[in-house]
Amino acid sequence: MGPSSKHHAEIIGRSTLFWLLLTHFALIAPLADKSTPWTLAISAICLVWRVGIFYGRVARPPRLLVTGLGIASAVTLALVGKQIGLLNALMNLLILGYSLKTIEILGKRDVRTVILVGYFLIAINLIDNQGIGAMALALALFWLNTQSLLTLYRDPGVKRDALAIKLVLQSLPLAILLFLVLPRLPPLWMVPSLKSSVTGLGSELGFGDISKLTQSDELAFRARFDGKVPANPELYWRALVMEDYDGAHWRQHSGIKRLEREAFLLGSGRSEPVSDPQLNSTTTKAPLSYEVIAEPSGQRWLFGLDVAFSDTQGVVNLPDYRLFALRPLDGRFQYRARAYDTRMDVRLSDSVRRLNLALPDGINPRTRELVSKLKAESSSPKEFIQTLMTRFSTEAYYYTLSPPPVGKAQIDDFLFDNKQGFCVHYATALTFMARAAGIPARLVSGYQGGELNPRAGYVSVYQYMAHAWSEVWFEDQGWVRVDPTAMIAPSRILDGFDATFDPDESYLAQNPFSGHRFKEISWLNNLRLQLASIDYYWSVWVLGFDNERREGLLKGLLGGLKPTRLILFVLGISAAILLFVAWQAGILRLPSKQAPLLVAFRRVEKSLAAMGLPRELAEGPGDYAVRVGAAMPLLAADLIRWAQQFSHLRYSSEKPSPRALKRFVKESRVLAGRIRKQGKIPAATPD
């Protein structure tokens, strides 16, 4: 091949350039939330430059400029890598490499490189979101990227849509087979986490923190119970236990933080509890079993009902009766748990008691004075706590998402001046007063309630359902949940968040396109729940398809997991896939059904061949009828007329009528029978 022909072979068609432009935008747009401003800016410049090249307005940039941008990008990412996380930095580096490569494309080899990197970018979209929506987007991007590849090898006039879709569909059976057969293996390396995707509850809690979450309708997690779904007042999902209080914020104690850092050394953590018969005088209640699918949050704390225990791999049961993940939740995480009807810490160590009685000196003097008065009027710690709860329900306290600001004496300002607050205000005030009265107390944050999907039978918990409450310690009872919100706004606990607050003033205020806006429209709300159910079942059966479920499915299909059966199953499915692909590619052709006209002609032809008069390879119907008519004088006229009818029906420009075709088929059947009655024609002998 000469230089000119080689240059011609490397010419990139405008069709390929157009599809590359479209693919470039489609691949980068979904990754905007994972990209730094610097990465987005360079990607946008590269895209605009590529448009200019496509329309012939600008030339390719100098290689020195592209190299300089690449080096500058790498240095910038190295500097900010610690802040955004290693995985985010690596993803940004790949996005920049893809964008810069698109503007220096010279030949088909460069196009193939860009398309190959495009497939990696498609996979990046699935790192922290494997929902059905993300999978549909990935398939669409896969089709688009494949379209770009096909333009290099197909003629411009050939439609590529069907071919690209066919290639995607042909790969699905093999992917499904590998998904069913291959075991779920742990990664060979520890993938760094996405530091930028931290949402939901935080490890520090102030007066206004949870009220910020009420502005979000993002899904926190979903839970399905093995039996009856508990009522809303029973759905207290514990996430964090906070024992350190500095007068303004609640924080986790340093000891529990250390345990969280060393969670991988704890194994499963504390031992599994048993139901306490003293809490139920009639019978010991069986644990409540449920399954949770937590959404990506970047955090490690999980959600469980009192008293939660999980034996799922990767989950640690901490001493403060919480569930904790070994890895940050950068993707959906599925785990099973059980809730036990038992007491928490019937005996309290001196160090834990001191920790949960500690208060900063010199703050909230009016509150301390009120505590002294109420304590003197109470005969026991339980009566004191009940007095506080009664005070909240009988005096003019209000539950609001927008409470007035408070000063340094937060609790004094709240209890005696503002008397307006959210769950954190009331829980903080009660916990402070309990400690001031010598009763160990702590603050717990998590979620309360959930939206039941009646068709699918699971509960969805959203960020706006975030909640805080108190736990106080009583002798011989251990930690007991005390929630002042139940006294101030009982509808919040009994019927849920929407029964107390207007969604348009909370989680819908900043979400104009939220699906929750359709709750009042029956058919639209049913559609929203149906779509949510599809996504849920995808998470359960695909993302939750672990080795145990894989083995159960294969046992059901094969009647056991013997190696011979498994090998035969894989070989059989693989052979079927290969045969299907070969048929689609045209390598294997199945016999097609002949038209009735040809079937009728073959019937007469076979009858004549059986009589010793086969048709020659190059002999037409008319010549054949004349020749065999000479050997069968009694049928000569009928044979010639039959051949003329066939030629007219077969080669006429007009489509034969069904009636004429039916008549020919019938006459051919009769003629074949008369031929067989004539007997075999003796072979001609030479003179």
- Active-site residue set: 423, 467, 483
CB 256 within 8 A of CB 318: yes
Distance CA 485, CA 643 (A): 96
Contact (Cβ atoms closer than 8 angstroms) between residue 336 and residue 314: no
CA distance 474 to 300: 30
At 397, list the tokens. 């306290």
Record the tokens describing residue 437, joined without a space.
Answer: 């009265």
- DSSP state string for 606-634: HHHHHTT-PPPTT--HHHHHHHHHHH-GG
Sequence-separated (6 or more) residues with CB below 8 Å from residue 426: 392, 397, 484, 485, 488
Distance CA 459, CA 225 (A): 9
Number of residues assigned to the chain: 687
Terminal Cα-to-Cα distance of the chain (whole angstroms)? 65
The one-letter code for the residue type at 518 is: F
User: Which runs of consecutive H residues, i.e. helices, occur in 125-160?
Assistant: 132-150
Q: Give the Cα-Cα-Cα angle 488, 221, 272 (nearest 5 degrees).
A: 90
Q: How far apart are CA 96 and CA 182, in angstroms?
A: 34
Three-class secondary structure of residue 131 per DSSP: coil
For 241-253, b/e burial (b = at least 16 CB within 10 A) is bbbbbeeeebbbb
Q: How far apart are the C-alpha atoms of 332 and 325, rounded to whole Å? A: 12
Half-sphere exposure of 291 (CA within 13 A, CB side): 14
For residue 346, the 8-state DSSP code is S
327/329 Cα distance (integer angstroms): 6
